């Protein structure tokens, strides 16, 4: 698909979006781009202090930006339920961006208070429960969309659908890739179930390519760029998170993007947002059904879309 200009987004006045992890990195630039197009955006994040700094930065870049903060700690299903209750009360919800996550962690397996491997819960299971909780607000808004952030790590680490909790073997990057396989499987299965139910909601995947804070447009107190020499060393095969947010924004806003599609950089790691292909293993219907059952069990959440 051609004709999409990330620098000239369609007007989003009157529309409302929730971005998890909107206080930093990809989430921050997703928020900034959405409010620049006229949208109201709710930042769902763990730290109110960091979210406040991010909102102040957005307002410096976009005077009059309509922003709100809702506390969300994806490592706690109790926090997810509290955030879901607040967000599901919104009069409308045009889009939910499942952006937040951790990209670094311990060399040893850790579990949350809910008993789940921490990377899997923060990057995926918390989002599964959140999407289920805010479904009423999405259903009240014709044409609403859920966008989940995938990762190229799914091309590097093969999926083991029977060890998503990394109980047999743990390595952080392996656990991270499994969490992203799970995001892929969930979003694609969600879209299949929505279509089967005749729902007006769609679900779409996006990935940022190789996006780094150090190559991003600076935002004092929020995004700190690399030293110029370090930035030049990183620049080959990478892009800033301001550009890395563009596939998410296109997946959310472009009416030509259909449910179940995947948007990523043109050259896989960098470039304008275009349609991409997810790893076949986590895109399969059998994995989607298997994952859905496990996710309901691990989160204690019934997620019925019909």
Q: What is the CATH number of the domain that holds 45?
A: 3.40.50.720
Query: What's the predicted TM-score (pTM) here?
Result: 0.95
Q: Is residue 1 part of a domain?
A: no
Q: Is residue 10 part of a domain?
A: no
Quote the CA–CA distance of 64 and 61 in Å, as a whole number.
9
Maximum distance among all alpha carbons in the chain? 54
Q: Is residue 4 part of a domain?
A: no
Q: Is residue 107 part of a domain?
A: yes
Q: Is residue 8 part of a domain?
A: no
Q: Is residue 217 part of a domain?
A: yes
Q: Are 122 and 101 in contact (CB under 8 A)?
A: yes
- Using only the alpha carbons of the chain, give its radius of gyration: 18
Q: Is residue 169 part of a domain?
A: yes
* pLDDT value for 1: 60
* pLDDT value for 212: 82
* pLDDT value for 182: 98
The token pair at 97 is 């961006």
Structural domains in the chain (count)? 1
Residues marked active site are found at: 176
pLDDT along the chain (306 residues), means of 10: 86 98 96 98 97 96 97 98 97 97 90 98 98 96 96 94 97 97 98 96 95 81 64 70 96 97 94 92 95 98 92
Strand, coil or helix: 293? helix
Question: What is each CA distance from 16 to 12, 30, 38, 96, 208, in whole angstroms?
Answer: 8, 13, 10, 9, 22
Q: Which domain holds residue 189?
A: 16-299
* pLDDT value for 273: 95
Strand, coil or helix: 195? helix
- Residue 78 burial (CB < 10 Å; 0-12/13-18/19+)? exposed
84 beta partners:
none
Q: Is residue 280 part of a domain?
A: yes
Pairing outcome for strands 202-206 and 239-240: unpaired
* pLDDT value for 296: 98
The token pair at 264 is 């990523």
Alpha helices in 110-268 (DSSP H): 118-120, 126-133, 135-139, 153-156, 172-196, 228-234, 241-244, 246-253
């Amino acid at each position: 698909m051609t004709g999409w200009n990330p620098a000239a987004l369609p007007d989003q006045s009157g529309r409302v979006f929730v971005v998890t992890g909107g206080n930093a990195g990809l989430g921050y630039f997703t928020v900034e781009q959405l409010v620049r197009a006229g949208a109201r955006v709710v930042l769902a994040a763990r730290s109110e202090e960091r979210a406040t700094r991010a909102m102040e930065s957005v307002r410096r870049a976009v005077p009059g930006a309509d922003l709100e903060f809702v506390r969300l700690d994806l490592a706690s299903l109790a926090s997810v339920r509290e955030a879901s209750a607040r967000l599901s009360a919104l009069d409308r919800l045009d889009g939910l961006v499942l952006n937040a996550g951790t990209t670094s962690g311990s060399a040893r397996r850790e579990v949350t208070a809910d008993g789940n491997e921490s990377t899997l819960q923060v990057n995926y299971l918390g989002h599964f429960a959140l999407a289920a909780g805010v479904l009423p607000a999405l259903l009240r808004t014709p044409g609403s969309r859920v966008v989940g952030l995938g990762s190229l790590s799914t091309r590097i680490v093969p999926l083991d659908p029977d060890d998503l909790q990394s109980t047999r073997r743990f390595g952080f990057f392996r656990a991270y890739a499994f969490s992203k396989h799970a995001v892929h499987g969930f979003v694609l299965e969600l879209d299949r179930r929505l279509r089967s139910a005749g729902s007006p909601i769609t679900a779409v995947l996006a990935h940022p390519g190789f996006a780094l804070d150090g190559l991003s447009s600076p935002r004092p107190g929020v995004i700190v760029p690399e030293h110029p020499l370090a930035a030049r060393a990183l620049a080959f095969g990478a892009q800033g998170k301001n550009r890395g947010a563009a596939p998410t924004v296109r997946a959310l806003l472009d009416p030509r993007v259909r449910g179940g599609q995947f948007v990523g950089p043109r050259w896989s790691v960098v470039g304008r947002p275009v349609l991409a292909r997810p790893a076949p293993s986590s895109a399969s219907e059998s994995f989607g059904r298997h994952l859905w059952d496990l996710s309901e069990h691990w989160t204690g959440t019934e997620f019925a879309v019909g």
